[in-house]
Chains A and B, each alone.
With several copies, the nearest count.
Chain A
Amino acid sequence: MTANLSVEDLLDAYRTMKTIREFEDRVHVEFAKGGIPGFVHLYAGEEASATGVGMHLKETDKLASNHRGHGHCIAKGVEVKGMMAEIYGKKTGTCHGKGGSMHIADLDTGMMGANGIVGGGPPLACGAALAAKMKGTDGIAVVFCGDGASNQGTTFEAMNLATVWKLPVIFVFENNGYGEATPSNYAVSCEDIADRAVGFGMPGEIVDGHDFFAVHKAFAKAAERARAGEGPSLLEHKLDRFFGHFEGDNQNYRPKGEVKRLREEVCCLKRFGAEVTTNHGVDQAQLSAIDNEVAKLIDEAVAFAEKSPEPDLSALTTDVYINY
């Protein structure tokens, strides 16, 4: 399955990963400058996960996300400008400034929404999968959950339901070692989250979430199974986040040096670059060109967001049924 990744595919993958990384690094900077309001959770470090999954998704497939959703959005094809404007709370944002970072959704591209509620997404993804199944398409749904979310009742219920109804849904657990400040090896009662698959009658697999190829391969199998009507799968992506839980996190709960070390040692972009230039006939120049392209894209997105207008005050009472 990795076999049939063309150079073009690989460059696409790189572009997506790089876009996510630049987006997040820039949001980090702009947040610190005070330009961005609210709670922001950055995805930097986990790019291979969203990207390796996203490449298998058609526009009609659905993706349910969580609070750390920027990467999932980008991998699902949501416009970067609209996302940035949304994070700034502007009228031109994906949700016209009414949602913010934690609630970016774009149903037209199959992005069902980030979610401010841990464990909010898994049941929703089951529903999207059910709709695909009922309509007789080969559509699938994927939900991204953290290690923390793996302990939420809704997540368990959704996994059970997915098997009972044989839904084309894939549960991707992005295990980045922490739920806020609490380590996953404290809060998750079993060795690996993948151990839970058997209790829900589905295959489960541990995947190196820093390795695009591993993610891509494992998801290909799960997607194939789902599209063939054989039911759900569980994937556990082991990976790391490069920033704090949210912007402003002191990260005291991490061992000294961990944060610094990660960008050096487990950067999925570096690893991908080395791999594709060494073994897949990709040129460093091609990657650099993408780097430039992406830098420009993100600059433009920030500029767009900054100069976009605020929503009209009348928007306070639109988009919801009100009778007084």
Chain B
Amino acid sequence: MARKITYQQAINEALDQEMAKDKSVIIMGEDVAGGSGGDGEMDAWGGVLGVTKGLWGKYGDRVMDTPISEAGYVGAAVGAATAGLRPVCELMFIDFMGVCFDQIYNQAAKFRYMFGGKAETPIVIRTMYGAGFRAAAQHSQCLYNMFTAVPGLKVVIPSSPYDVKGLLIQAIRDNDPVIFCEHKVLYTLEGDVPEESYTIPFGEANIVKEGNDVTIVTVGRMVHQAIEAAATLAKEGVSCEVVDLRTTSPLDEETIIESVENTGRLVVVDESTPRCSIATDISAIVAQKAFGSLEAPIEMVTAPHTPVPFNGALEDQYVPSPGRIADAARIVMGYKV
């Protein structure tokens, strides 16, 4: 159990174990092997960041390079899912959802309902999100809010190597379409990960730090910023409870509400832009369902309502920082009725 591997290795291991276990699991995406049909190394890349590296060697044709046709291959994965396969599809950057969104929200997400319960569409779309790589406006977005908005989709945003493995295995076994959002900055994060296969259920938030004064609800990479902020605040005598949503759909309302009922104060931290976001979502639910417990306004810490800038200093300012989270917590702590 003390084995430490990276977030990236944990993903690879989850894929490997599920492919070994279930022949209907296949992988497709741009360069998920890399080099198909060429004269160089066949399994040259394993995805643009090497996350699927080695799987082609083990599973051959079940790891399929695609043309740059996201709508085409995502749609093919959707069709294959209705016909008995369990495709894990890689959308290289979440920013590219705009060229294939229809196949996700109008097709995959709606089949079960629209067909009167007759369809199952067990597809996982793994995709990389978030800022921090100086990758500029079209390669740094979050956009998980748009998927969370879609009835019929499940949305997973793992924050640690342990979680990413367990949640990915769960996602592959789920019979609904799952959008699986991996933060590019987390790939190199190391953590304890059991070697054996395990699952983490959807819709169960993780209280990564207990506390009594302020609830900080967040997800993905921001969990780490929140923990850092909580550590700072602890020195000031403020006790924060940090809730990692793990999945934004299904959403673990219960844990959020219980925590706010205990602390009376809420800060929501979301790397995404501020409008119609996870931040507003959590705020709204609490303002409706835990209003009586609230002792202060709800603070949201998000990116500004702008595209992601290229320049490093601007990008660093763009992403919610532990400092800004701590400031928000100080505001709710200082609120006087």
Q: Do these two chains really belong together in a complex? A: yes
The reply on B147 being an interface residue by CB < 8 A is no
* Nearest A-chain residue to B109, judged by Cβ: A320
Which residues of the partner chain A approach B135 to less than 8 Å between Cβ atoms?
Answer: 38-39
Complex Cα distance, B70 from A152, in Å, reads 8
The main secondary structure of chain B at its interface with chain A is loop
B71 contact set on A, CB distance < 8 A: 123, 153-154, 157
Interface contacts (Cβ under 8 Å), in number, total: 318
- B74 contacts partner chain A, Cβ-Cβ < 8 Å: yes
State whether A102 touches B112 (Cβ < 8 A). Answer: no
Q: How far is the CA of A123 from the CA of B41 in the complex (A)?
A: 29
Given the interface contacts A180-B45, A255-B40, does A123 sit within 8 Å of B76 by beta carbon? yes
A168-190 interface code vs B (CB 8 A; 1 in, 0 out): 00000000001111110111110
Which residues of B are in contact with A by a Cβ distance under 8 Å? 26, 30-31, 34-41, 44-45, 48, 61-62, 64-69, 71-85, 87, 95-96, 98-99, 102-103, 106-107, 111-119, 133-139, 151-152, 154, 176, 203, 249-251, 253, 274, 304-307, 309-314, 317-318
Please report the C-alpha to C-alpha distance between residue A161 and residue B28 in the assembled complex, in whole angstroms. 12
**A113, closest chain B residue (CB):** B115
Asked if residues B44 and A124 are in contact (CB atoms below 8 Å), the reply is no
Q: Please tell me if A306 contacts chain B, counting CB pairs below 8 Å.
A: no
Q: List residues of chain B with CB within 8 A of the CB of A106.
A: 118
Q: Is the CB of A125 within 8 A of B79?
A: yes
Residue picked from A64, A94, A322, most chain B C-beta under 10 Å:
A322
Cα A264 to Cα B52 in complex, Å, equals 35
Cα A126 to Cα B76 with chains together (Å): 5
**Residue of B at shortest CB range from A100?**
B310
Residues of A within 8 A of B (CB): 37-39, 62, 64, 89-90, 93-100, 102-103, 105-108, 112-113, 115-120, 122-128, 130-132, 134-135, 141, 148-149, 151-154, 157-158, 160-161, 164-165, 178-183, 185-189, 250-256, 258, 310-311, 313, 315-324
Find chain A residues with CB under 8 A from B67 CB: 148, 151, 157, 160-161, 164, 179, 182, 187-189
Q: Among the listed A90, A185, A253, which residue makes an inter-chain contact with B41, where contact means beta carbons less than 8 Å apart?
A: A253
Q: Which residue of chain A has the shortest Cβ distance to B74 in the bound complex?
A: A123
A182 lies within 8 A of B117 (CB): no
A98 touches B134 (CB 8 A): no
| Residues B45 and A98 in contact, CB atoms below 8 Å apart | no
Contacts of A183 in B (CB 8 A): 35-39
